[in-house]
Amino acid sequence: MSGGAWEAAADLVVVGSGIAGLTAALGAAELGLRVVVVTKDAADAGATTWAQGGVAVVLGDVPGDSVETHVADTITTGAGLCDAAAVASILADGPAAVTRLRARGATFDRARTGALARTREGGHSAFRVIRAGGDATGAEIERALLGAARERGVALLTGQLAVDTLRADDGGVAGLALLDDAGRAGLLRAPAVLLATGGYGQLYASTTNPATATGDGLALALRAGAPAADLEFVQFHPTVLHVPGAGGTGVRPLVTEAVRGEGGVLRDRTGARFMVGVHPLAELAPRDVVAAAITRRLAETGAECVWLDATGVEDVARRFPTVTASCRAAGIDPVREPIPVTPAAHYACGGVLTDAAGRTPVRGLYAAGEVARTGLHGANRLASNSLLEGLVVGARAAHAVAAELAVPRSLPSGAAPARVLAVADRPVVQRAMSAGAGIGRDAAGLAAASDAVEAATGPGTAGDRADVEDAALTLLAAAVLAAAGTRTETRGCHVRTDHPERDDAWQRASLIVTLDNAGRPVVSTNLPAVAA
Ligand code: SIN
């Protein structure tokens, strides 16, 4: 015990029990490392469980499709900001990663022919997305990985929020300070910490993300000195269920893009299909294009929502059981009537800057999954690439950790540093971000959002879970607003109404966010080298 806190040690602490975290934990355990997975809620409460569409992967069984085509679709969708080497390497490792996942017990849907069933989503030029349970892919993956982790004896601590990193004399990370549901502190000492905490959809008033998505891992990494990149690229999913008159805020049920992949079409209040003519792929354009077109149509018509007409989709209720259940719970029958939808915050394309094996520039600190920015997504993520990225980078990170642990380090035994947090009220942050940093931003709106968050910010304590989460959101609001204010162009899912065109001067230039000595976000354009 140290200062009243419980204390334990491991070789690797993984924060988060979604696809990236569990894949890394299983890989590390198989390499003989002592692994502890910590997660702040129930093990399956994160975004992985909620993923509907599937896993985008080329397995060689779809005539005409190839890894090269998947790479090309990813880079086109990423709007000039993908790291081409990261894209090629991550997607090339996809088939092996999916084979490992299936060996760990995940079962994917089959077509009548017996081959793996495929669907298509926005930006994909082929039917290459594999799925489970119709539209319950994430739940099946989470079930299989949690089962495999339990079978392997991976230690899983639930109800433990990561509050801060412990630091070593070499400036690197040496473990984590934790806070449990009862407010008890704990210290987990480890030469390696892997963040797999997901995204920060809770920055916005309306999101598809679960309540866990408060950006804790990204905030913790920034405070540990790690740079983040591409934070201005918040992806809005075009179609989440909208119940007219119900306010449309909070955690909203997703209506997977695969509904459009299987023939669903978007209509405005007059019944007209408005995506035809906007993009050659119409409803299956990359989702930044669809979300922006819906937003324009809402402004033009003054309607609260548009409609996704899935009445022509074959056997829609059986094919999309999750979507059908959400619709029916809201009194809408997708078999007979169009589904009211609006866009909502869905995915953070940016995150902790890592290489394609999850290494950050801070020794001992790794990140994988939505919390990380490998360069795969660029300015706009291609649908269903994220589960694949979690599988590939999670597995690679396990090997990177094992290799780094071969070099001994001297780690401290002291307590975690005391920290006072800057905390704004969550609804204030969410309203400010939704008003000023949603789809379509401009300088005045971004500045107003920044002022609103700053005016609402006061001191909080690291001993209170709500304060820790709200401090993460407060910091990330400032970071996203700073990056979005700096990028004076429109690219991917960053739409600046005062700079509506793409500007070649910004081509390939990622914005890097670090913290200054006062803990405030600073934006630069220099990509620091990631430690080998
Ligand atoms: C969806 O099913 O539409 C979401 C898939 C994704 O976000 O990749």
Mean pLDDT computed over every residue of the chain: 94
Mutating to test ligand 1, I would choose from 137, 140, 339, 384 the residue with most ligand atoms within 8 A of its C-beta, which is 384
Do 479 and 500 belong to one domain? yes
Highest-confidence segment of 2-11, 164-173, 367-376, 497-506: 367-376
Residue 249 predicted with pLDDT over 80? no
Domain interval for residue 11: 6-198+349-404
Ligand 1 centre distance from Cα of residue 53 (Å): 5
Mutating to test ligand 1, I would choose from 137, 208, 254, 308 the residue with most ligand atoms within 8 A of its C-beta, which is 254
Backbone angles phi, psi at 162, to 5 degrees: -75, 120
User: Could you say which of 378, 404, 430 is where a domain stops?
Assistant: 404
Do 392 and 330 belong to one domain? no
Mutating to test ligand 1, I would choose from 233, 256, 382 the residue with most ligand atoms within 8 A of its C-beta, which is 256
Do 108 and 131 belong to one domain? yes
- Distance, in Å, from the CA atom of 503 to the CA atom of 496, rounded to the nearest integer, reads 11
CB distance 87 to 389 below 8 Å:
no
CB distance 258 to 132 below 8 Å:
no
Ligand 1 centre distance from Cα of residue 255 (Å): 9
Q: Is residue 245 part of a domain?
A: yes
Q: Which atom of ligand 1 is nearest to the CA of 346?
A: 7
- Distance, in Å, from the CA atom of 455 to the CA atom of 447, rounded to the nearest integer, reads 12
pLDDT digits (tens, 9 = 90+) for 453-479: 999 999 998 889 999 999 999 999 999
Q: 299-308, 399-408, 501-510 — which is least confidently predicted?
A: 501-510
User: Could you say which of 303, 330, 345 is where a domain stops?
Assistant: 345
Number of separate domains in the chain: 3
Q: Is residue 384 part of a domain?
A: yes
Give the chain's length.
532
Do 241 and 330 belong to one domain? yes
Q: Which atom of ligand 1 is nearest to the CA of 381?
A: 8
- Distance, in Å, from the CA atom of 421 to the CA atom of 317, rounded to the nearest integer, reads 47
Question: Of 417, 363, 315, whose CA–CA distance to 530 is shortest?
Answer: 363
Do 389 and 319 belong to one domain? no
First to last CA, the chain: 35
Residue 532 predicted with pLDDT over 70? no
Q: Is residue 225 part of a domain?
A: no
The pLDDT value given to residue 531: 39
The pLDDT value given to residue 1: 37
Q: Which residues line ligand 1 (CB under 6 A)?
A: 52-53, 121, 256-258, 347, 383-384, 386
Do 142 and 108 belong to one domain? yes
Question: Which are the contacts of 95, defined by CB distance < 8 A and separation ≥ 6?
Answer: 57, 58, 59, 60
* pLDDT (mean) for 272-301: 94
Does residue 287 have an active-site annotation?
yes
CB distance 146 to 44 below 8 Å:
yes
Ligand 1 centre distance from Cα of residue 384 (Å): 6
pLDDT digits (tens, 9 = 90+) for 502-514: 998 887 789 999 9
User: Could you say which of 345, 362, 389 is where a domain stops?
Assistant: 345
Q: Is residue 468 part of a domain?
A: yes
Q: Is residue 224 part of a domain?
A: no
- Distance, in Å, from the CA atom of 177 to the CA atom of 163, rounded to the nearest integer, reads 6
Q: Which atom of ligand 1 is nearest to the CA of 383?
A: 8
Do 170 and 46 belong to one domain? yes
Domain of residue 260, CATH code: 3.90.700.10
CB distance 54 to 119 below 8 Å:
yes
Q: Which atom of ligand 1 is nearest to the CA of 386?
A: 8
Sequence letter at residue 282? A
- Burial class from Cβ neighbours inside 10 Å (0-12, 13-18, 19+) for residue 311 reads middle
pTM of the model: 0.95
pLDDT digits (tens, 9 = 90+) for 90-143: 999 999 999 999 999 999 999 999 999 999 999 999 999 999 999 999 999 999
DSSP string, 46-111: SHHHH--S-EE---S-STT--HHHHHHHHHHHTTT-S-HHHHHHHHHTHHHHHHHHHHTT----B-
Do 395 and 317 belong to one domain? no
The pLDDT value given to residue 244: 75
Ligand 1 centre distance from Cα of residue 383 (Å): 5
């642990």: which residue's tokens? 405
* pLDDT (mean) for 242-259: 85
Domain of residue 477, CATH code: 1.20.58.100
Query: Looking at 287, 363, 431, 491, which residue is catalytic?
Result: 287
pLDDT band at 322 (very low <50, low <70, confident <90, very high): very high
Domain of residue 145, CATH code: 3.50.50.60
Question: Of 259, 439, 231, whose CA–CA distance to 342 is shortest?
Answer: 439
pLDDT band at 2 (very low <50, low <70, confident <90, very high): very low
Ligand 1 centre distance from Cα of residue 305 (Å): 20
* pLDDT (mean) for 164-171: 91
pLDDT digits (tens, 9 = 90+) for 41-71: 999 999 999 999 899 999 999 999 999 999 9
pLDDT band at 526 (very low <50, low <70, confident <90, very high): low
- Distance, in Å, from the CA atom of 108 to the CA atom of 506, rounded to the nearest integer, reads 40
Q: Is residue 167 part of a domain?
A: yes
The pLDDT value given to residue 530: 46
Do 21 and 139 belong to one domain? yes
Sequence letter at residue 279? H
- Report the Cα 366 to chain-centroid distance in Å: 16
Burial pattern 496-527, b for ≥16 Cβ within 10 A else e, equals beebeeeeeebeebbbbbbbeeeeebebeeeb
Q: Is residue 411 part of a domain?
A: no
The pLDDT value given to residue 419: 77
Ligand 1 centre distance from Cα of residue 185 (Å): 36
Backbone angles phi, psi at 129, to 5 degrees: -90, 120
Q: What angle do CA 191, 192, 193 make, to 5 degrees?
A: 130
* pLDDT (mean) for 516-532: 75
Q: Whose CA is nearest to atom 2 of ligand 1?
A: 53
pLDDT band at 527 (very low <50, low <70, confident <90, very high): low
Do 54 and 147 belong to one domain? yes
Do 357 and 341 belong to one domain? no
Do 123 and 79 belong to one domain? yes
Q: Is residue 37 part of a domain?
A: yes
Structure tokens at 134: 């119709």
